[in-house]
Structure 1
């Protein structure tokens, strides 16, 4: 735990605020390329076979491939929804944790592509005239275009459904619905797609959403916050920032790591009732420290 906190303090300063906005900008560049240079789409796809042949830019450029663009109105609604949910999740989790979540999702997606590549080799994959499409010796096909930002967006949505299940969104800007119900619907859709798609689809979905599974398991299934908790948390952070700016002193300090409320907006502090004395701890050490007797 201490090693993790030490690494976090070193990397926290490199966290990118409002990361969802940059992701949306990448989608915008991808949409422009689709309309201006349609043939260039094939050079963006995450195809491990071509990466191993030297086309290493594909490890990054697949992020430019936007979600389905068949209906521009639907695209705008979807992007606005994910931008709003991503921003909300960043405010609740903190910039550092949200960065780790998104970047781990990107890395797991790349890892999944190479796992599927290995499976394809074992199944005697043969290239076709279409980039990213390979025929296997069992008569099925593998399409690496399945590794897309669709699942990155899905991971944001599922994280919101798990963390803030009672928050309402306006479906199509009209129908109010709680995020948790949409999360359940999306989960069922993913399960059906996996059952219908076979092992290749399982690999795509599991690795693309592995960041959500890891975060959910690490939190022991207790990621959710109520609307009241979110409001109190935001009020707490605002008060602490105001106190630090006006008085130049801190009100809270962890007895283990020494961090204060000025070290991160996502930090919370509590006194331990089992310690002999007034010992205060951050949320990372509240349940892991040795009690002072």
Structure 2
């Protein structure tokens, strides 16, 4: 998982133009238009034509449903408007934190996994289910709560609460839904949010490290490590190199580099990855 994330980071660095900028803005606008036109359509013809449906996709070859299901509203009225704003805020924040390329990969991998979930369900039960953005939004919510656990939001616009507690509450509800459903169908929702575990598993493990429960840790001698690091760097054509993306101060003289105090050893990262890397452990 760590190796995969480093490859994704490297790909995004090597292809800076990859990705859809302001992806969530397009999703929100599209969802708003579908909701508006759906209100004018009393028979829900438009909604039914956009949702993912196994029979329609695989028997009638209505391929557009593989993409348009993300535009189908999951709520109505005031709750719909609130959810649009909330998930736009979450998605936009993740895009600014990860970059357009990485967020695009995250969102589209979530779409693929949701389609996989619905397809397996259809093949296993011969029942065609209509999927929407519920699990996509849940995976984004979990990612946001993992990366920004201390951020406070106003629950019901009144109660200040940290994202980590909302994340834990949603995780408990998600787990209970899995436990109370029939096996093995109850495991399928995990497939739908697998992109969260792929992208945020490293941060999640770091957050619940044994050190959090007062387990003994190794003491790092930074003076000794720095001396060894500088000795090794003297043999190289650069002074600083990011452990994630490989950029150096020679190739990018204006780029800021820092050293991580949470990694074991002496590891250098660029400003883009100092807060978003998987920590090195000996």
| Shared fold, TM over 0.5 | yes
Secondary structure of 1:170's aligned partner = strand
Deviations 1:114-172 (A, max 9, x none): 2212212xxxx3xxxxxxxx3xxxxxxxx512x21011111111111111111000112
Structure 2 stretches lacking a partner, 5+ long: 209-238
The offset of 1:192, in angstroms, is 2.2
Please give the alpha-carbon distance, in whole angstroms, between the structure 2 residues aligned to 1:192 and 1:57: 33
TM-score for both structures, normalised by structure 1:
0.67
Q: Any idea what SS the aligned residue of 1:27 has?
A: helix
Q: Structure 1's 271 and 84: CA in aligned 2 closer, same or farther, altered over 3 A? A: closer
Within the alignment, does 1:67 sit opposite 2:71 as a pair? Answer: no
Q: Helix, strand or coil for the counterpart of 2:154? A: strand
Equivalent residues, number: 233
Contact kept? 1:112, 1:203, Cα under 8 Å = no
- Residue number among 239, 258, 271 corresponding to 2:247 in the alignment: 258
| TM-score under structure 2 length normalisation | 0.69
- Partner residue in 2 for 1:20: 24
Q: Residue 135 of structure 2 contacts residue 193 of structure 2 at CA under 8 Å; is this kept in 1?
A: yes
Q: Is the 8 A contact 1:16 1:99 kept in 2?
A: yes
Structure 1 residues 274 and 164, CA gap change in structure 2 (3 angstroms): closer
Q: Is the 8 A contact 1:161 1:183 kept in 2?
A: yes
Tell me what 2:138 maps to.
Answer: 154
SS at 1:197 equivalent: coil
CA distance in 1, matches of 2:48, 2:151: 39
SS at match of 1:176: strand
Per the alignment, residue 110 of structure 1 pairs with 115
Distance change >3 Å, CA 223–CA 30, structure 1 → 2: farther
Contact 1:116 1:200 in 2 (8 A): no
Q: Cα 1:175–1:271, aligned 2, differ >3 Å: closer, same or farther?
A: closer
How far residue 215 of structure 1 moved from its aligned partner, in angstroms, is 1.7
- Paired residue secondary structure (1:177): strand
The CA distance in 2 between the partners of 1:286 and 1:162, in whole Å, is 13
C-alpha contact 1:45 1:144 (8 A) present in aligned 2: no
Contact kept, 8 Å, 1:163 with 1:223, in 2: the verdict is no
SS in 1 for 2:149: coil
Which whole-Å CA distance do the structure 2 matches of 1:268 and 1:202 have between them? 47
- 1:200-224 residue CA offsets vs partner (Å, 9 max, x unmatched): 7524421221111212324462379
* Partner residue of 1:168 out of 140, 143, 152: 152
* TM-align CA RMSD: 3.4
Q: Shift of residue 253 of structure 1?
A: 5.5
Gaps of 5+ in 1: 126-133, 135-142, 225-250, 289-293
Change (3 A) 1:262 1:180: farther
State the Cα distance separating 1:254 from its structure 2 match. 4.2
